[in-house]
Amino acid sequence: MPTNREVYFSFIKENNKYLNRNVITSVLCACNNYVDNMTLYHHFDDECSNYNQLLECFERIKNGEPFQYVIEKAHFIDLVFYVNKYVLIPRQETEELVIGTKVMIDKMLPLKTLTIADVCTGSGVIGLYMKKLYPSAEVYLSDIDEKCLAVAKKNGEMHHLSVKYLQGDLLQPIIEKGIKLDVLVCNPPYIGSKETIDEQVWKYEPHKALLAEPKTKYYEEIFKVADQVMKPDSILAFEIGEDMEDEICALVEYYFPNSAYKLAKDMYGKLRFLYIMIKEDGNYA
């Protein structure tokens, strides 16, 4: 069997567009059952375990399959989550949504024991990370698709994060259970047309997680009934598409005429996040 070093350099030399350094080290870690790159480098001159499985993984990746589906793992902030073809692969912007939401919470709702919902949870990354950040919070993860909830549950168990899982359409299960929220975080489907979706994403990722017709559909459906679930002092946080500023602002101003809101940019300078602040005393200073 070749060593990890030999495998690493033989695939680097291939210069394949899908095989960069990060992908190759991730596959080597997964096939060797190493927890991280440090462990891989420590064992760089050891024989590669599961070499045949590793070759199969690289074949699938070279055919265009996202490496996270192949190794069934995706990084989110500093945690590794299980993923499969039923859930969207977590994106970097969504990490920023979680951090941005934490900043809003610590400013507006400090020292509160929070009730938080991650609606459209997919693999569960947002809600589970919120639970990690706020261990005393009651956290609900909801999705319309039971296959997504199965993945989210697996991730919750893997990270020993105790949250509650709800299946249903957007806020419906939260309304039915009479749950009142301090924080709602949501990354809904928001791509208006198949034509704007990258070919590899369309081929492999779940369409239910991507498409919305019109693109603001899920936001509006949530805004319409948000007053039934949000507490008098609360925060709604959303990831948004980079091309929906005007439409989303018009909707927020229509459905939340007495609340403050702000749009925030991602690390590339694109407007990708919406935060709505509801305050009982109306003081947004």
User: Cα(54)–Cα(9) distance, rounded to whole angstroms?
Assistant: 14
Cα Dmax for the chain: 69
Q: How does DSSP assign 264-284, residue by residue?
A: EE-TTS-EEEEEEEE-TT---
Residue 180 pairs with which residues in a beta bridge? none
CB nearer to ligand SAM: pick between 39 and 92: 92
Instruction: Measure the CA angle with vertex 70, ends 140 and 36; round to 5°.
Output: 75
Pick between residue 146 and residue 157 the one whose CB is nearest to ligand SAM: 146
Q: What angle do CA 234, 186, 213 make, to 5 degrees?
A: 125
7 vs 80 by CB, closer to ligand SAM: 80
Query: What are the residues whose beta carbons fall under 8 Å from the beta carbon of 178, sequence distance 6 or more?
Result: none
Q: Of 143 and 182, which has the nearer Cβ to ligand SAM?
A: 143
Nearer Cβ to ligand SAM (180/207): 207
Shortest Cβ 34–ligand SAM spacing (Å): 25
Contacts with ligand SAM, residue ranges (CB under 6 A)? 87-88, 90, 94, 120-123, 125-126, 143-145, 148, 169-170, 187-189, 208-209
Position closest to ligand SAM via CB: 122
Q: How far is the CB of 31 from ligand SAM (least distance, A)?
A: 25
Shortest distance in whole angstroms from residue 104 CB to ligand SAM: 17
For residue 145, the minimal CB distance to ligand SAM (Å) is 4
